[in-house]
A and B are shown apart, each in its own frame.
Chain A
Amino acid sequence: MSSDAVICGYVRSAFTPAKKGGLAKVRPDDLAAGVVNGLIKKYKINVDDVEDLILGCAFPEAEQGMNLARNVVFLSDLPKDVGGVTVNRFCASSMQAIHQAAGAIVSGSGELFIAGGVESMSRVPMPGFNPMLNPSLIDVDAYIGMGHTAENLAKQYSIGRDEQENMALESHHKAASANDQKEFEDEIVSINGVAEDGCVRPETSLEAMAELKPAFDKDGVVTAATSSPLTDGAAAVIVCSEDYANKNSLQILAYIRGMAISGCSPEIMGIGPVLSSQKALKRAGIKLEDVDIIEMNEAFAAQSLACVKELGVEMSKLNIHGGAISIGHPLGASGARITGKAASLLKETGKRYALSTMCVGGGQGCATVLERA
């Protein structure tokens, strides 16, 4: 073990609605390269020291295929002798990228990494272009639609539509107010002139939400308003060893203190954060009560609320600048966004511990515990 892994920087692109937003016509490799360059420029890192570019992507085919990460190396200001690896853990792909970087650092396999992720849900649709499913996995719900998993949790935890809509409204209000206070200005890299998030709807209301029909189950309680929108975006963080940061005068935002993966039944995949968070907290040697900043990906309000109930999360600590319902959820980019955001918030608020966690299609959870420098 050479050193602790730390996060020293975080940027992202604006998150814009798929098909109609400002980034719809940007190739995902170009989008990721723009964000990587933004990160390099903002933190003035020495590109020659970068060991590897680890990029998460949930549907790595078509424009996101051909080892996307390696191509982003070529498209960005990184030199050719930096490696590139694309990782896929569906929605947690870029949190996995961070975990891989941290793992490499503590095992002495490199000092400086760029870990991030990208998803153009405009250009590569959700099940991919050529869904070829194993017929024998249909019955085990391996491919169950995400909306249905949210419905299942709503039923299991008796989460009503009102409660979900309140959470969604809150998410939009938090994101809108963070935006008003220029909280995102520092983290967003302008790509093709697009520098503002496009999914947030400050004007939305409970009345407007109540009008919507259920999106996935005609008798259900989950609507488009209480689900995260299809989004285009990319995010990246600098993960390096504490030694490297100190030697190169990089300001440490947070130490990575615990990481965990867990599995669960695919039909309630949204509960994934519970076990993974518990495991990561335990590894960090702390309790949830010790955590002040919680970034939990809002795939669905029903799913988030189930985890809130199961873990006992204090709402005032949760997603204080808004979550995926309002900001958007470009699958492969969200893990880096929430982890980078959690690290930045530690720095900004001076609090000690943060948790970032998310659910994963197919039934998984992924969590990271951070400590302020």
Chain B
Amino acid sequence: MKINNVAVIGAGLMGSGIAAQVANAGFPVTLLDIVPDGATNRNVIAESAVSKMLKPVKLGSPTPLMHQRNAKLITTGNIEDNLDFIKDADLIIEVVLERLDVKHDVFRKIDKFRKQGSIITSNTSTIPREQLVEGMPDSFAKDFMITHFFNPPRYLRLLEIVSGSEVSQEKVQIVSEFCDINLGKEVVVCNDTPGFIGNRIGTYWTLVGMVEAVKSGLTVEEADAVMSRPIGAPKTGLFGLADVVGIDLIPHVTSSMISNLPETDPYCIAYSEQEKLGISQLFSDMVNSGYTGRKGKGGFYRLNLSSGSKVKESRDLKTGNYSKSIKPKNLRSVKAAKKGLRALVEYDDKGGKFAWQVLSKTLSYAASLVPEITQNIVNVDIAMKNGFLWKKGPFEMLDALGPSWFADKLKSEGLEVPKILEIIGDGHFYSEKDNNLNYFTIDGEYEKVPKPEGYLSVSDISRGKTAIFRNPSIKLWDMGDEILLAEFVSKMNSIDPLIIEGLSEAASLCESGKFKGLVIGNDGTNFSAGANLGLASFICNVGAWSEVDKFVEGGQLTFMSLKHGSFPVVGASSGLALGGGCEVLLACDRVQAHSETYIGLVEVGVGVVPAWGGCKEMIRRWNADSKSPKGPMGSIVKIFENLGTAKVASSAQEARGMKFLLDDDDITMNRSRVLYDAKQTCLQLVDGYIPPEINEYHLPGLSGKAALDLAVSDLVKSGHATPHDVVVTDKLASILTGGDTDFLDKVSEDKLLEMERESFVDLVKTEATLDRFEHMLTKGKPLRN
């Protein structure tokens, strides 16, 4: 059995998010919800859910859909008239109200219409599977499991699966693989216990975090300054996270947790402490006055717009008054955290003490829950990293602190030491042996960390090995099967002369026959944020123009050697691939793109033009496509629009329409599989590889440029373009139209590269471009000058 068709029952935030992700994966999906009382349009809930998917809340903010077109895969309806729509569904996901009676009612309805053997799952976060199958026929129970997604389903990668003894291993495998390979999820199988893994530990962390913050009299800013980046959690911290989740939602989750847990559980103990301290009251006061978090008037933080500009304010936990948020400056512990987690918790200030109070409880709690909630510690770490976006999981944090140091400190404070910490003694939860990463099992042994087939990371490849070539910005690794891997390791993987040197070395290694193909990829959040602007700014400010020219030309030559060398090159991208990062991908024969790859030639934003073949490559691509608009200007206008406005594709699917990716390029939904898939693609290209030819192009010349210039001058008048935009796009227009050429003549790629280079050097000599560099470096956003 294979999942080809999916139904989602319940079109709320989660249900529609899940349906959108199924559509993103290219599968047809039916989305049903109830008929609201007195509705004239009986499908109104599901239909408006789909229209919300298409319209971002704010212009440019991410949507659940990776491409507008995916909405066509979603069929909407209601559960009164359209349950027959689910008859073809192989997987039916229930995402209705968190009420047992409501869920049972829906299950019975589904059961009548579903095809035999189809799998039903519930997205419940609070109700045990045991209760969900109670009273349902056996035939239902053996097809039923829990698939717990995290919000938003497109971006949060954790998926918890809870199955039962009556469900076949094969069915669990089918669902796991679908969620992993197709939906891109990090799948963790866990036991049928309250809150599973993520919410059990994650909400306990916020619970004790708030308790300890109030006990030690910290402000929300202080608490969040500690419980965020310093411990490897997202910058929202505890209170900020509560605002995102919804102040109204949190009491629901915690109360359902305590109702399903024994009174002696640390969770319940922390909860009663919270009650005593008046935090529960605080939550209900906030909800009653409309402070439900970001979706409402605000929460622990709010944006006050009354002065005409946005002022971030935070709530006083005692008085409930709001005042301007002040970043805590006196917390030295936060600075100390740069030296590691231990430096933080040992630091003698209120931040250090707070960190210890929260982490000692949270990590002990996590350590005490294996194997109650799941079979191994790895699942716990995966869950916290992918569901709560922690940099390290609880056991990795314990390793960072030192398990024996941690246990001793607990003992010295008279606290209970979890069994697994007693057993591990002086050891660590993870250890490397024979190029493998092993973990500590509940039996006190070390076993290889399990990974689904097809997962591959640079850390897997490099573990216990020496790089073939390395400098501070790039490393080259042997991937096996005669494929070479180039890993960028510079800050934000930005491109500098050292990366160019490394890529050039990679090309030589492949040309020499030592390797048959090259993969360019890394484990980072971003493939590459672009050229190293700081370095470029420095060189320009000292007026080392010949160095600038050398840097640009060096990149061009190297990228041409990748593109036209006798070996295949595959880019493995995820996250940002901007400017020079995009140009690396454009120089590859193929790209194996993670679905969440954000590609764009954004050079104009910082006052330059793409000069590592970006312009040339866009002309090449649009020219090669028989579906491109015809005529001398048809595709040039499209390229000019995309590059002139520094457009970035919001997904790999969208990048195809802009030709940053081509039809032959492949998209991988699961981040952990990108590198493996890239290697496979490279291996496929090796046999009989023929490098692409270098082309010449008919370009419109000065007549075309006049048209582009006119369009820009209209944009200036209407206030959509700035004076320096005119200077920059003048160069861009000149390159794209082929300079002073006639449409009947052909322009060589060499000529285009020369124009790119000259334009780049001319532009960095202008003060306005250097101002743009400076602004981007200091403010992180483009200057509109």
Contacts and interface: CB of A to CB of B under 8 A. Distances in A.
Q: Is the interface of A mostly helix, strand, loop or mixed?
A: loop
A320 interface: no
A217 B703 contact: no
A145 B718 CA distance: 11
Given A129-B630, A132-B704, A133-B703, A138 B717 contact: no
Nearest to B634: A129
A157 interface: no
A127 B714 CA distance: 13
A148 B718 CA distance: 9
Interface string A104-130: 000000000000000000000001011
A193 interface: no
Contacts of B632: 130, 132
B444 to A, nearest CB: 68
A214 B719 CA distance: 9
B631 A218 contact: no
B633 A130 contact: yes
Given A218-B717, A218-B718, A133 B710 contact: yes
B482 interface: no
A135 interface: yes
A268 to B, nearest CB: 16
A350 to B, nearest CB: 46
Contacts of A220: 717
B705 A131 contact: no
Given A129-B629, A129-B633, A129-B634, A134 B706 contact: yes
Q: Is the interface of B mostly helix, strand, loop or mixed?
A: helix
Nearest to A218: B719
Interface in B660-712: 700, 702-707, 709-710
- Which of A127, A131, A219 has most B Cβ within 10 Å? A131
Contacts of A215: 718
B579 to A, nearest CB: 28
A138 B706 contact: yes
A74 interface: no
B717 A216 contact: yes
Interface in A205-229: 214-220
B631 A129 contact: yes
A284 B631 CA distance: 45
Contacts of B717: 145, 148, 216-218, 220
A135 B718 CA distance: 22
B634 to A, nearest CB: 5
B718 A132 contact: no
A138 B710 contact: yes
B785 to A, nearest CB: 16
A133 B718 contact: no
B633 A135 contact: no
Contact of B633 (A132, A134, A214): A132
A130 B631 contact: yes
A244 interface: no
A237 B660 CA distance: 50
Contacts of A147: 714, 718
A216 B629 contact: no
Contacts of A134: 703, 706
A249 to B, nearest CB: 49
Interface in A135-150: 135, 138, 143, 145, 147-148
A212 B710 CA distance: 24
B55 to A, nearest CB: 15
A133 B707 contact: yes
Given A145-B714, A218-B717, A135 B702 contact: yes
B702 to A, nearest CB: 5
A172 to B, nearest CB: 24
A96 B627 CA distance: 36
A167 B392 CA distance: 65
A137 to B, nearest CB: 8
A42 to B, nearest CB: 38
A132 B700 contact: yes
A134 B705 CA distance: 10
Given A138-B709, A218-B719, A131 B714 contact: no
Interface string A214-258: 111111100000000000000000000000000000000000000
A18 B747 CA distance: 37
Contacts of B707: 127, 131-133, 143
Contacts of A219: 719
B706 A130 contact: no
Nearest to A143: B710
Contacts of B630: 129
Interface string B613-635: 00000000000000001111110
Interface string A21-39: 0000000000000000000
A227 to B, nearest CB: 12
A219 B707 CA distance: 24
Nearest to A136: B706
Contacts of B700: 130, 132
A147 B629 CA distance: 27
Interface string A52-66: 000000000000000
Contacts of A135: 702-703, 705-706
Nearest to A135: B706
Interface string B479-522: 00000000000000000000000000000000000000000000
A132 B709 contact: no
B747 to A, nearest CB: 16
A217 B66 CA distance: 35
A130 B710 CA distance: 13
A147 B715 CA distance: 12
Interface of B: 629-634, 637, 700, 702-707, 709-710, 714, 717-719, 743
6 contacts: A130-B633, A131-B710, A145-B714, A145-B717, A148-B717, A216-B717
Given A130-B631, A132-B700, A214-B719, 13 more contacts: A129-B630, A129-B634, A130-B632, A131-B633, A133-B706, A134-B706, A135-B703, A138-B709, A143-B706, A145-B717, A147-B714, A147-B718, A218-B718
